[in-house]
Amino acid sequence: MKTILITGAAGGLGICLVREYLSRGYRVFGADIGKRPDTDKLLAEADGNYLFFETDVADTSSVQKLAERVSAQTESLDILINAAGIIRPESEDILEKFDIDGSRKLFDVNALGPLRVVKACISLLRHGKEKLLINISSEAGSMTTHADYINRYDYCMSKAALNIQSIILQRYVKQEGIRVLLFNPGWMHTQMGGPNAPINPADSARGIADLSASLCGKIEDIPATGMFWNYDGTERPW
Ligand SMILES: NC(=O)c1ccc[n+]([C@@H]2O[C@H](COP(=O)([O-])OP(=O)(O)OC[C@H]3O[C@@H](n4cnc5c(N)ncnc54)[C@H](OP(=O)(O)O)[C@@H]3O)[C@@H](O)[C@H]2O)c1
């Protein structure tokens, strides 16, 4: 049975990714800082094919414990998706009001969190067949096409950091056949995206899973092209 680990698994996009990969026949391991009401419902429905591990991606020992708990269940991971992420109301503040020191936690979760999870789980991914590492980025991390923000320093910078992290990782693991993908999931109707967002996270999850499946095993052009994607399958300029 194919296996996948998804962080942010209780969140809006994360739970849709869990549902999507369960429907595709994967055994799913979910990690999140806490459960939401739908988490237990999904665990009950999944008939043992979904396991959830409470994990703080900003805490190295918590991530190490996650890797140990997943390793107790499987010798390999086909796919790892880093979807955990945060934004804070203060991200909206313009320069003069912006609390720089208050933004450290956001970097710890959005930029360093994925690296912690990859470091702890890379040996499981090396033993997997599909060898896909997927980091959920954002249009906010794109230098050329971002939404012309004059605020959101911390969120945009954290996603740009995730992008360069992914480029470095791709160089490092390319010879082993591991493909690293970055996705802009779109402006989604989730806790983070808010009620006015136009995109259903289930559509985003399906798009991410479809494109990832089609790119699996193909690592020739990267990292110059073919790494940063929108959920609808179009390529995202850096
Ligand atoms: N929504 C959008 O429009 C949008 C657009 C572009 C990119 N994204 C990205 O898409 C990803 C998913 O976002 P979403 O919209 O699904 O947001 P969401 O509904 O808020 O889900 C994010 C999940 O990550 C969890 N989380 C937060 N801190 C964590 C930590 N330290 N360790 C482990 N889990 C943690 C959250 O838990 P709590 O709820 O308890 O904090 C939540 O369950 C994020 O990386 C986000 O940056 C979202």
CATH number for position 124: 3.40.50.720
Tell me which residues of the chain have a pLDDT lower than 70.
Answer: 220-224
85 falls within a domain: yes
**8 within ligand 1 shell (Cβ under 6 A):** yes
CB 44 within 8 A of CB 20: no
pLDDT at position 145:
77
209 falls within a domain: yes
Residues contacting 142, CB < 8 A, separation 6+: 160, 163, 184, 228, 236, 237, 238
235 falls within a domain: no
237 falls within a domain: no
pLDDT at position 219:
74
pLDDT at position 133:
98
3-state DSSP assignment of residue 109: helix
Residue nearest to ligand 1 atom 7, measured at CA: 138
**4 within ligand 1 shell (Cβ under 6 A):** no
Residue nearest to ligand 1 atom 8, measured at CA: 138
34 falls within a domain: yes
pLDDT at position 97:
97
* Domain count of the fold of the chain: 1
238 falls within a domain: no
| Position in ligand 1 atom list of the atom nearest CA 197 | 3
Residue 72: closest CA among 124, 33, 22: 124
Domain that holds residue 142: 3-230
**81 within ligand 1 shell (Cβ under 6 A):** no
119 falls within a domain: yes
**32 within ligand 1 shell (Cβ under 6 A):** yes
